[in-house]
Structure 1
Amino acid sequence: MIINIDKDICTGCRECAEVCPASAIEGEKGKPQEINYDKCVMCGQCIQKCKSYVSLIDHGVGVYEAKRAERNLPASVKEPLFAAYSNCNLDKVKAALADKDTITVVQCAPAVRVGIAEDFGGELGTVAARKMAAALRKIGFDRVYDTNFEADLTIMEEGTELIKRVTEGGTLPMFTSCCPAWVSYLERNYPELKEHLSTCKSPQQMGSIFKTYGAEIDQFDPAKMFVVSVMPCTCKEFECNREEMNSSGYQDVDVAITTRELAYLIKDMDIDFNALPDEDFDQPLGLYSGAGTIFGVTGGVMEAAIRTGYELITGKPIPAVDVSAVRGSDIFRTATLQVGDIELKVGIVTGLKNVAPVLEALKAGKLDLHFIEVMTCPVGCVSGGGQPKLLLDSERDAAYQARTKGTYAHDAELPIRKSHENPAIKKIYDEYLLEPNGEKSHHLLHTKYCTGENNFKK
C-alpha cells in the first residue's frame, strides 16, 4: 500500500485521524491506528501530521536501521522515521539511472520548486526551480523536463473542453481532474457523478507526450524510456499506475517520487544543492508560463483556465491577468465572471473535507455553477503529503503561506503568464497535436475514468 502506519511506532494520538479528509484512519485513542484502505485516498496528510517516531538517539542504531530497511530508504537517511509514511521508490529510479540502455526522463511539479529548498536549509517558500533543474541533471537524468509545461497543456485542453460544455450543452458543472486523491474520492463515494469530471488527464499524466512527441523530437526509442515524476503528492504513485494511463503505448509515467524523496536522492548522491548553479529545464518540454506555475496553489487551476478561456472566447486580452476573485483559502468560494456574453460561474473547494456538501448540493439540483476546482490538500499542492515535513504545528501555516507567496511571485516574474502564449505549447499543436480537444489530443491527453476498483486493488 502507498500510505502506511507502523503499529510498532504509532502511539494512538489520533492526530492523523483528525486531518484525514476521507475518515480512513480507525482505532482507539492510545492504541495503534489502522488505515481503512477502502476509504483511503492516499493524500498523505497523515504523514505530514504524524509525530510518533523512531530515532537513532532515542531508540538505538539497531531498531532505527531495521525500520529504515523495511521502508527501503537510502542508508544516507538519518532523520527520525515517523509512524505514518509512504512508499519509497528511489530503488526503481536508481536502477533506471544505472542502466546504460535506459533513457531517463524526469519532470517536476509546480509545487516542488517552492518546497525542495526547505530540506537544504532554505527559507520557507524559496523558489528553487533552476537549482532543482541543475540537481536533476547532475543526478544523471537524460532529459530534465517540467510538469509546468504539461499544466499549460492541461489548460489548453481543459479550457477548450469547458467552453464546449458551456456553449454546446455538455455536463455541467465540470470539475477539475488534476488531483488524483479527489478523483479517487469521487469514484468511490459518488460514482454517479463521474461524468462531471473533466476528461483531461492531470498534468503528470499528460507526460504521455514524453514517449510520443518527445521521443520523436530526440529520436528516442520509447520502449527504452523511463519517465520519473517528482511530485508534492503521495497519491501520484497511485495515479501513474492506473490501468488506463498508457495512451503512449507504454506506461506513460513509470514512477512517481515525492519532494522529500528527491531531497533524499540529492543527499544520497552527495550533491551540494545550495552550491549548484542555476540551470534551465530542457526544451521544448521544459518551457512554461506563470499559469502553469500557479497550479500548485488552491484556485490556481481555475485562474490559469480563466486567463486562457477568456481570450479563447472573446478574442481579446483579459483585462487583468491576476484573477483575484478566485484566490484565497476559504473552504468553498464562488465567483461570477463576465466572459464575453457568458456569465461564467465558478467555484473552488479547498480541502477534500469540504467537498461532500458541494456534491450533495449538485445531486439535489441546487448548484448553479459551470466549473469547479477541487484540491484535496489544505491549500493545494504546496501543502501536499509529499512535501517537506513540518515538525511543528506552529510552522504549518507559515510554511503554507510562504510557499503560496513564492508561487505567485514566480508567476509574476515570468515573461509569459498565459498558457496559450507559451511558444512551446503553440509548437506542439502546430507540429503534433494539431488542435485542442482534437483526435490526437483526445487519445493522448484525455481519459475516461473507470470505477477504479481494479486500480484500488493494486
Structure 2
Amino acid sequence: CGRCVQACQMQNVNAIDFAYRSYHTKVTPAYENKLDDSVCVNCGQCLLACPVDAIYEKDNIKDVLKVLKTKKHVIVQTAPAVRASLGEEFNINAGTLVTGKMVASLRKIGFKKIFDTQFGVDLTITEEAAELIERLKENKNLPMITSCCPAWIKYIEHFYPELLKHVSTCKSPHDMFGAIAKSYYKEKYKINNKELVVVSIMPCTAKKFEIQRREMKKEVDYVLTTREIARLIKIKKIKFNNLTDEDFDAALGLSSGAGTIFGASGGVMEAALRTAYETATGKKLEMLEFNQIRGMSDFKEGSIIINERKVNFAVVNGLHNAKEILEQIKNKKCKYDFIEVMACPGGCIAGGGQPIPTNKEIVQKRMNALYINDKNKAIRRSHENPVIIQLYKEFLGRPLSKKAHKLLHTSYIKRGT
C-alpha cells in the first residue's frame, strides 16, 4: 500500500521505495540492499504505519526467555514512555500510567531486579547539563545538540557528519544505566561480570541498533520494545489488569520528575535546563515548567538567562524538521545555543516500538500522563536525586570526571549515504 514508504519520506530519510512494476512491485532499499546497509535510521515509524505487520522489529523475546532460564543475574530497566503506553496492550485507556502493574509483571516473569531507566535519565541530565555549561563558558562547539535518540544520531552520522562535533558526547540514559550496572552495581553487590545480564524495555526500535554499536561496549545485552514486553506478559499468561501495584527495586530505581518527562518531545530540554540553570547559578528556578517547548508543534523555541548570558534553545520534533536547523548550523546562521532533536514526532512516547495505533490523540494522552507524573513527584530535578548524589560521591567523583567520561560518554562515526 506504500504507507511505510510515505512514513520514511515524511521522516526525510527515504531509505525505502517501490521497485519494479506490476505484479513484481516490491518495497525495498536501493538496489535491494539490506536495511542495515541503507540509510535507514531504525526509527520504526514505518512499523507504526503498516496495517498488516508486513514490516516489524527484530524479536528478542526468545533470547530473553532463554537467559531467564539460566542462573545468571538478569536485571531489567524500563523507559519513562513505556509506563504511559503499556496499558493500551491490555485494553487500558491511553494515557494511563501502569508503572506498578508493569513492575509486578516483570517480577512474575522472573527478572532478578527491576530498575527504572529514569535513574539513567537523571544521570544523563546531570552530565549533559555540565557539558552544556562547559561549552557555554568556552564558547565552543555551539550549538550543543542532544544525543539521547539513537535514530537521530544515525541520521546526522549519515547526512551531516561534518556537524557531529555539535552533538553531546553523553550516552543515552539506558546505556548509561547499563554502564553503571556493569561497574558500580556489579562491584557493590559482588556480581561476576559474566553472570550479569542487562535487559532494556524501550518504546524505541532504534535502541536495538544502538546496543550493537562498538562504542557502547555491550553495556546492555537485550532490548525489548513495549509491544514485545506485552507479548511476553501474554506468553506467560499473566493477568496484567488484575496485578497489585509493586515498586521498583532500590539502588537504581529512584528517579526525579525530570526523568519522567524525558519521554516527551521537549522533555529532554526542559529537564536539562532545570539542572543547567541551578548548577550554574546556585539559584532555584522559580518556574520549573517550560510550557513553550511542550506539545506537538514541529518546532519550539525559547530562551533563559544563565549567569547574565542569554541562552537560546530550540526543540525539533521529528526528523522531518531537522534538516532546516542543520542547514542553519552548517551555514553558521544558527542563533541557538542548545537544541533537542527527537526522531519520532512527539518524542519517545511515539517511538517505533510503541503500541499500535499510535496517532496524535493517543500520543498527546501519553504525553499528558508523563507531565502529571512529573508534577506529582517529590523530586523534580535530576541533580537532586539522592541516589545520583551518592553515585558521584562513592564512585564517579563529579560530572565530566575522567571516570564519568570513560563510562558515560561516547563518540560517533561518519557514515555514507
The residue that corresponds to 2:64 in the other structure is: 93
The residue that corresponds to 2:299 in the other structure is: 332
Written as runs of structure 1 = structure 2, the 5 A alignment for 1:261-410 is 261-390=228-357, 396-410=359-373
CA deviations over 1:114-146 (Å, ceiling 9, x no partner): 010000110001111121111111111011111
Written as runs of structure 1 = structure 2, the 5 A alignment for 1:398-437 is 398-437=361-400
Written as runs of structure 1 = structure 2, the 5 A alignment for 1:24-39 is 24-27=15-18, 31-36=25-30, 37=35, 38-39=38-39
The residue that corresponds to 2:50 in the other structure is: 50
CA deviations over 1:334-386 (Å, ceiling 9, x no partner): 21112231211101000001101111111111101111000000100000000
What SS does the aligned partner of 1:86 have? coil
The residue that corresponds to 2:4 in the other structure is: 16
Task: Find runs of 4+ consecutive structure 1 residues off by over 2 angstroms.
Answer: 28-32, 450-453
Written as runs of structure 1 = structure 2, the 5 A alignment for 1:145-160 is 145-160=115-130
Q: Give 2:39's aligned amino acid.
A: K
What SS does the aligned partner of 1:219 have? coil
- Among 130, 141, 155, the residue aligned to 1:171: 141
Residue 222 in structure 1 maps to residue 193 in structure 2: yes
Q: CA deviation at 1:23?
A: 1.1
Q: Give 1:163's aligned amino acid.
A: I
The residue that corresponds to 2:102 in the other structure is: 132
Taking structure 2 as the reference length, the TM-score comes to 0.95
Distance in 2 (CA, whole Å) between partners of 1:345 and 1:160 is 17
What SS does the aligned partner of 2:339 have? strand
Name which of structure 1's ranges 31-40 and 432-441 shifts more when overlaid on structure 2.
Answer: 31-40
CA deviations over 1:429-454 (Å, ceiling 9, x no partner): 1111110000110000001112257x
Residue 202 in structure 1 maps to residue 172 in structure 2: yes
Distance in 2 (CA, whole Å) between partners of 1:253 and 1:233 is 14
Distance in 2 (CA, whole Å) between partners of 1:142 and 1:272 is 20
Q: Give 1:345's aligned amino acid.
A: N
What SS does the aligned partner of 1:435 have? coil
Q: Aligned residues, how many?
A: 404
Q: Give 1:172's aligned amino acid.
A: L
Q: CA deviation at 1:329?
A: 2.0
Q: Give 1:320's aligned amino acid.
A: M
Distance in 1 (CA, whole Å) between partners of 2:103 and 2:245 is 8
Distance in 1 (CA, whole Å) between partners of 2:137 and 2:301 is 21
What SS does the aligned partner of 2:398 have? coil
Distance in 2 (CA, whole Å) between partners of 1:44 and 1:360 is 25
Name which of structure 1's ranges 323-332 and 209-218 shifts more when overlaid on structure 2.
Answer: 323-332
- Among 159, 166, 172, the residue aligned to 1:189: 159
Q: Give 2:26's aligned amino acid.
A: P
Consecutive unaligned residues in structure 2, runs of 5 or more: none
Q: Give 2:331's aligned amino acid.
A: A
What SS does the aligned partner of 2:216 have? coil
* Conserved? CA contact 2:161–2:413, under 8 Å: no
Q: CA deviation at 1:325?
A: 2.3
Consecutive unaligned residues in structure 1, runs of 5 or more: 1-12, 54-81
Distance in 2 (CA, whole Å) between partners of 1:289 and 1:452 is 36
What SS does the aligned partner of 1:204 have? helix
Q: Give 1:328's aligned amino acid.
A: G
CA deviations over 1:136-168 (Å, ceiling 9, x no partner): 111110111111000000000000000000012
Greater RCO, CA 8 A, separation 6+: 2
Taking structure 1 as the reference length, the TM-score comes to 0.86
Q: CA deviation at 1:35?
A: 3.3
* Conserved? CA contact 2:295–2:364, under 8 Å: no
What SS does the aligned partner of 1:85 have? coil
Distance in 1 (CA, whole Å) between partners of 2:310 and 2:324 is 24
The residue that corresponds to 2:406 in the other structure is: 443
Q: CA deviation at 1:403?
A: 0.4
* Conserved? CA contact 2:145–2:167, under 8 Å: yes
The residue that corresponds to 1:62 in the other structure is: none
CA deviations over 1:24-68 (Å, ceiling 9, x no partner): 1210597331135322101100000111x2xxxxxxxxxxxxxxx
Distance in 1 (CA, whole Å) between partners of 2:104 and 2:336 is 43
Percent identity of paired positions between Structure 1 and Structure 2? 46
Q: Give 2:204's aligned amino acid.
A: C
- Among 203, 214, 228, the residue aligned to 1:243: 214
Distance in 1 (CA, whole Å) between partners of 2:301 and 2:89 is 36
Q: Give 2:384's aligned amino acid.
A: E
Q: Give 2:200's aligned amino acid.
A: S
Q: Give 2:189's aligned amino acid.
A: D
Distance in 2 (CA, whole Å) between partners of 1:416 and 1:324 is 19
The Cα RMSD (Å) is: 1.4
Distance in 2 (CA, whole Å) between partners of 1:170 and 1:441 is 20
Q: CA deviation at 1:97?
A: 0.2
The residue that corresponds to 2:223 in the other structure is: 256
* Conserved? CA contact 2:161–2:415, under 8 Å: no
The residue that corresponds to 2:87 in the other structure is: 117
Q: CA deviation at 1:310?
A: 0.9
